[in-house]
Amino acid sequence: MDTQLDTLVHTPTKSLPGNSYTDPNIFNIERRFLFRSLPVLAIPACYFDKKRNYTVVDIAHESVIVAKNKEDEYQAMANTCRHRGKRLLDKKNINSNERINLKSIVCPYHAWKYNLNGELVIARGDESSLLKGLCLKKLTVEEAGGLTFYHGKSRQIPQLKELNRVLGNFQLQNGKLNATKTYTVNANWKLWTENFLECWHCAPNHPELCEVKGFINQFEEGREDLYIHDDLNWRKQSELQGWTPPEEVDFLSEGGLFYFNVAMPLGKDKETATQSGKQIGPSLGNLNGMKGGAIFGCFGPFLFYVAYVDYIVLFTIRPKTVDETEVEVFWVTHKDYNGTKDELTWLWDTTLQQDIVLVEETQKGVQSLYYTPGPFQADEYRTQAFTGWWKQWYQQNKS
């Protein structure tokens, strides 16, 4: 197994070897030593209100409850009872109007009861457990850019502040979580991340996305001059309206994480990324100057986002097994948005269905004995950087 990976250290411009996407042992190393140290977007912070005070996130056999206690403080804890280990809460459908509000957590098995700080408050049949001060295993919660994250590190992750810089002006904490969809992808999580890190595949695969985002075909046709013209125009208009796109960072790797954010015009007089090209809701954070453009970024490797003037889409990657991944997608708008969910989700729902086919077919390909790592092309520079990041992590953690 390691022979394939060790060979790659000497061929850094090629994709990863097949076993990095198919070997359950490698997935197990990722589960133990990578996933637990990465920040995971649990939910946009605006989700929490009088009706909803917790959510559940499942990643690679780990389940975590993220709740707000009665003091309105975030708590993240393992969804595993301290008695016999039963899973305590299931994930609810957050699209429904159902109340998702708890005063305490009662284990369905033998009825031990925990408060929303995770502390055991009733130990049915065994009061001595109370004296032991049993508590659900705690994780760290952080809010950044109007988004609620958890992670297994005991200290805060300073890089999360980047999201305040890039997304802070969108005031997502005052927005509305308008739609959520979960997609099951029969592929290793890295293939999904790799797909999202490049748009070189967009022109041949995403006709709707190309229609909405004129720059894809401008680049494809070698008309960078048209793109530069649109970009200058958009930035000038934005500035006139008092808004400047956040300074771009393109793939910075530090502290065991990577991230990037870039801004671009949509072109063709589009205001936003909808079928009509027209804005479908009030501007997020009153950022009218953002009209006609997009901010695309990643806080790696589990979160991608794309923001427009009236909505933002958050793509969260949740590995399940070595060859199954869930992608949970959140659409956040201004709280006064009154368009339909279909208008809102049309573009990225369509595009994701196309990506799922590509990524699942790639999983089948890398399982083949005929697969060998192939050379990256120039436009795949972020994907290449990600595979370099992953290889470095693996070399340090494989034993």
**Apex CA 284: angle with CA 280 and CA 286, to 5°?**
110
- Provide the terminal-to-terminal Cα distance of the chain, rounded to the nearest Å: 12
CB-based burial label for 33 (10 Å; 0-12, 13-18, 19+): middle
Q: Does residue 287 sit in helix, strand or coil?
A: coil
Could you say which of Fe ion, ligand FES, none residue 109 binds, taking C-beta under 5 to 8 angstroms by partner kind? Answer: ligand FES
Nearer residue to Fe ion within complex by CB, 231 or 355: 355
- The angle that helices 189-196 and 341-366 make with each other, rounded to 10 degrees, is 120
Amino acid (one-letter) located at 365: G
Could you say which of ligand FES, Fe ion, none residue 176 binds, taking C-beta under 5 to 8 angstroms by partner kind? Answer: none
Among 30, 231, 355, 380, binds Fe ion (CB under 5 A): 355
Kindly give, in sequence order, each residue whose CB lies less than 8 Å from that of residue 160, ignoring residues fewer than 6 positions away.
39, 142, 144, 149, 299
- Least Cβ distance, residue 110 to ligand FES (angstroms): 3
CA distance 173 to 189: 28
Contact in structure between 67 and 34 (CB atoms under 8 Å):
no
The stretch among 17-25, 228-236, 277-285, 347-355 that binds Fe ion (CB under 5 A) is 347-355
- Least Cβ distance, residue 75 to ligand FES (angstroms): 18
- Token pair 């016999």 is at which residue? 84
The stretch among 63-71, 217-225, 228-236, 352-360 that binds Fe ion (CB under 5 A) is 352-360
- Least Cβ distance, residue 329 to Fe ion (angstroms): 13
- Least Cβ distance, residue 248 to Fe ion (angstroms): 21
Nearer residue to Fe ion within complex by CB, 30 or 355: 355
Site string for ligand FES, 212-251 (x = CB under 6 A): ----------------------------------------
Q: Residues in contact with ligand FES, total (CB under 6 A)?
A: 8
Nearer residue to ligand FES within complex by CB, 104 or 233: 104
Give all strands (DSSP E) within the chain, no chain letters.
40-44, 54-59, 62-68, 74-78, 105-106, 113-114, 120-122, 138-144, 147-151, 176-185, 249-254, 257-265, 293-299, 303-307, 311-321, 324-333
CA neighbor of 140 nearest in space, from 81, 77, 91, 69: 77
Could you say which of ligand FES, Fe ion, none residue 36 binds, taking C-beta under 5 to 8 angstroms by partner kind? Answer: none
Site string for ligand FES, 102-141 (x = CB under 6 A): -----x-xx-x-----------------------------
Could you say which of Fe ion, ligand FES, none residue 355 binds, taking C-beta under 5 to 8 angstroms by partner kind? Answer: Fe ion
- Least Cβ distance, residue 334 to Fe ion (angstroms): 27
Distance of CA 120 to the CA centre of its chain: 32
Amino acid (one-letter) located at 63: S
Contacts (CB under 6 A) with ligand FES, residues 72-91: 81, 83-84, 86
Nearer residue to ligand FES within complex by CB, 49 or 109: 109
- Token pair 């949740």 is at which residue? 318
- Least Cβ distance, residue 208 to ligand FES (angstroms): 47
CA distance 40 to 44: 11
Helix (H) or strand (E) holding 21: helix 19-22
Closest CB to Fe ion: residue number: 355
Nearer residue to ligand FES within complex by CB, 110 or 268: 110
Contacts (CB under 6 A) with ligand FES, residues 286-325: none
Question: Contact residues for Fe ion (CB under 5 A)?
Answer: 355
> Which residues of this protein are in contact with ligand FES, per CB under 6 A?
81, 83-84, 86, 107, 109-110, 112
